[in-house]
Each structure stands twice: as structure tokens, then as C-alpha cells.
Structure 1
């Protein structure tokens, strides 16, 4: 650890590693305890050590450099992939080409056939929040079907549908006003597009379009299709409070 640095410029080693996007703080503690981390050429296993930006911190022999936290909200067009590995065509990667995607994760399982809000970040705290099965992050989806949704199927979705032996309910469902009952709004307690697809596969409907309208407090207001923005401090604060 660099000794001539003021305390205000020192941060805990686990936070230093986490801010690089390698892993979470808790995971960093584990790696420190088993000797995977060195500071200025010396293996460190002590918890609570503080380091500065000038220290040579290495993880499995590779130098660690903190990254600025990035929080990006995209209004994804249908037909665009989230990752370039999903095949040819337009990709969110190209839209956000100025950023490094080595440590940025997308939240939700958007495929080419879906559209709407997509959240990306390199913040492991946020990643843990979204991956926690007990977390409640209300998301609203607009689904258009190949034919009107029958009242009995509407009730099944509302009261609970058996999927692979598990009774799953949609917290809120409604017909879209002005539609021919072939469009519905669904609110889930998580960002799970595949679950929506499974619902309608089970009921033998085809989805014509599936659009994410809100993710928690985040909306598409002032965010046209195919555009992106950084989250504001207020939006980020509201998201972290979920």
C-alpha cells in the first residue's frame, strides 16, 4: 500500500477490485482470502486493507484498474440484438460503440424479437439486485397477440397458470384500451421476457410484438426508439431503493 497518500484517497481493497468490474465486493473478499490478489508485488490475504490508485494491484497476475460506473438505458428496437453473438444484423453494441462491453451486463433476456427498455451497467451491486430471485422489480410489458385473448385465458393468467408443475400468477394484467383484446398489458415482479413467452406458448398464442414499457421507476419518456441515455442521479437512486 502506498504510505504517502492521504486517507481520503485510500479505498478498501475489495471495493477497489469491485470497481474494476471483475467481481462483487463479497467475491473480492473471497479471492483476497485465498491469495489471488497482490499489492505492490506482495500477496495480500488480510481483510480491510486500503490502497490508492497509485498502488500496483493485481488479480491472478493481471493488473486491476478501477472503472467508472456506467448506467445506460436503451429503448431497443425490434430486430436488434443485445450481443453481437446473436447473429448478423443491427446490434446494441454498435449503438453503444464508445463503451467497453467487457464488464457491462444487460438486465433481462431481450431477444431480437422483443423491444423496449433495456438496462445496461457494470455495477455489480445492481447486477446482484436484478439477479436476486427474492427482489421485486416491477416491470410493465405491452404484448400483442395473433388473436384476441379469451376471457378464460385472461383469468388463468390472472389467477395462476401451471408451468412445469409450478403455479405462476401475473400480478397485474389488463386489456389495452382501444384494442380488439389482442393486446394486453402485463406487470411482472421481475424482468423476465421468457416467462411471458412461456405463458402464451402454454395457451397456444403467438406473440406478434413484446415491448418493455417500464423497469421499476424507469420509463421511455423522452427516449425515442433506437436511442439511449445515461441514468440521472434521481433515476439511479430510485432504482437502488427497490
Structure 2
């Protein structure tokens, strides 16, 4: 492989249309062409002068962009919805690049959501071997005891998943309304992680917000608004990963 060549699946992922893992699957399925020829070998190297097609659509070489959105409740973390509901990309007025969300926040959850057209960057942040800390604030129905909250660190079994919190902090308790505001730190992100974890303890989440992603916070952003990440922030997020996945 020369200095100017890269693996085909990496180039596809970097185009923003899919993750590297999905790109590998597309190659194996014979859905990728290089200079008009179907390629099925994962070790294939390509240069910037090669023409690449995925599902008969030529890749567009687009500069990578990175955005942070303050996702409001009632918006889908997707680029489209078959039920016609509002999706996060509807909120990115003025963004011309074809971006997609990194991971997801539930329909009824608000807070930080990152979007990019850099599939390789997204793949790294979503890889289970990475441990970028995320901080959530949950309003709970009921007031858990200290021993019950300690179970969050050990892990709570929910179906086939063991749901853990890296740490937690009680922010406030309202005995009159029988509610608690709880800060929860995660280093993993399974489907509906916080909600399922608290439901197993018997304290349903009434309201949930992701307030921090790595070192990124919502400071200066209002619900439904977004901003571009700086190059320094993109580098910091990459460096927060616990180990590099080749």
C-alpha cells in the first residue's frame, strides 16, 4: 500500500454513507465497484483517483464536518422517518452536507447529539471498546435508597443486558412530589440504557437529558439549536477513547 492508498472499506466509511463494518459487508456482498469493476476482497487498496461506486451510486468526496445538536424531546434521532415525524437533520438549517447522528437519543430524551459525515469517526465513537463518558440527568418517579442506587455501579440485569453506571450523584430530592433528580454517568450505551436500568429498580424515568458527551457540554446552546465542533474538540473527542480500534 503506497502513501496515497487506503483500504476500500475505510474510504467508504469516510465518505459518510455508512460505518466501516457495514462497508465491509457491502464489499463482501458484491455491491461495491472500483473503476467499474465489482470488488469483493476486503484487502483492496484504492487511491484518491479511483472511482468508487456503492449500490451503483458514485461516492462524492465531501469535506468532513462535525456538529453538536441540542436535541429537544419529540424528535427522532435519524435522517428520515417512515411515519413523517420530525428528525434531527430537520433542525440543521444551513447544513448542506449529508450528515447522520452518531448513536441516538430516544424520542423523549433531550440533550447532546453529535452528527457528522465522517463514518470512520462515528464508527470509533460507537465501538463498544471505546469509553467516552456521557452524563445524563434523570427525573425519577420515587426516591431510591442508597443501597438501591449502589446497584447501578454493580450492574442491573435487564433481559440479556447488564446495565451499569460508571457513577451517580443525587442532585435533589422532593419528598412532597416523591421524585428525585439523579445525575448518571455512563461509559457504555445500550438501547434505552438509563430508562431500562431505572425501571428494573422500580423507579421509572419521568424526564431524561444528556448534558455532557466527553468534555462537550450544552453551554450556549438552546433546544433545537446546533453548532460546529472546533478542530480541537474533534481531536479531544478522539483522544478520549480508551483504546484505538484498528
1:187 offset after TM fit, Å? 0.4
The 5 A counterparts of 1:172-183 are 172-176=167-171, 178-180=172-174, 182-183=180-181
Report what 1:85 is aligned to.
Answer: 81
Match for residue 121 of structure 2 among 118, 126, 151: 126
Partner SS for 2:198: helix
Aligned in 2, Cα 1:159/1:51: closer, same or farther, shift over 3 Å? closer
| 1:100-146 residue CA offsets vs partner (Å, 9 max, x unmatched) | 686x3323331221111111112122222133112111100001012
Unaligned runs of 5+ in 2: 242-246
Q: Which runs of 5+ in 1 are unaligned?
A: 1-6
Which deviates more from structure 2 when the two are superposed, residues 135-144 or residues 189-198?
189-198
Determine helix, strand or coil for the equivalent of 2:108. coil
Instruction: Tell me: CA distance 1:78–1:11, structure 2 relative to 1, closer, same or farther (3 Å).
Output: same
Q: Could you say which residue in structure 1 is the equivalent of 2:200? A: 202
TM-score normalised by L of structure 2: 0.77
RMSD across aligned C-alpha pairs, in angstroms?
A: 3.3
Aligned to 1:3: none
Deviation at 1:222, TM superposition (A): 1.6
1:76–1:117 CA contact under 8 A, matched in 2:
yes
Aligned length: 230
Name the CA distance, whole Å, in 2 between partners of 1:80 and 1:61.
32
The more displaced of 92-101 and 230-239 is 92-101
2:32–2:52 contact (8 Å) kept in structure 1: no
2:244 match = none
2:81 aligns to what SS in structure 1? helix
Q: What SS does the corresponding residue of 2:105 show, helix, strand or coil?
A: coil
Indicate yes or no: 2:23 matched with 1:38.
Answer: no
Moved more, 154-163 or 26-35: 26-35
Paired residue for 2:130, among 119, 135, 141? 135
Task: Flag the 1:32–1:16 CA change in 2: closer, same or farther, 3 A.
Answer: farther
Distance 1:50 1:187, change over 3 A: same
Change (3 A) 1:91 1:43: closer
3-state SS of 1:85 partner: coil
Contact 1:148 / 1:183 at 8 angstroms: preserved in 2? no
Relative to structure 1, the CA distance from residue 11 to residue 194 in structure 2 (aligned partners, 3 Å threshold; closer, same or farther) is same
C-alpha distance in 2 between matches for 1:105 and 1:117 = 14
How far the C-alpha of 1:24 sits from its partner, in A, is 5.3
Partner SS state of residue 182, structure 1: strand
Given that 1:141 and 1:213 are in contact with CA atoms closer than 8 Å, whether structure 2 keeps it comes out as: yes
Partner of 1:4: none
Deviations 1:165-199 (A, max 9, x none): 665432101100x4436011100102446111111
**2:100 alignment partner in structure 1:** 105
Q: Secondary structure at the match of 1:186?
A: strand
- C-alpha contact 1:137 1:191 (8 A) present in aligned 2: no
Q: TM-score, normalised by structure 1?
A: 0.78
SS at match of 1:142: strand
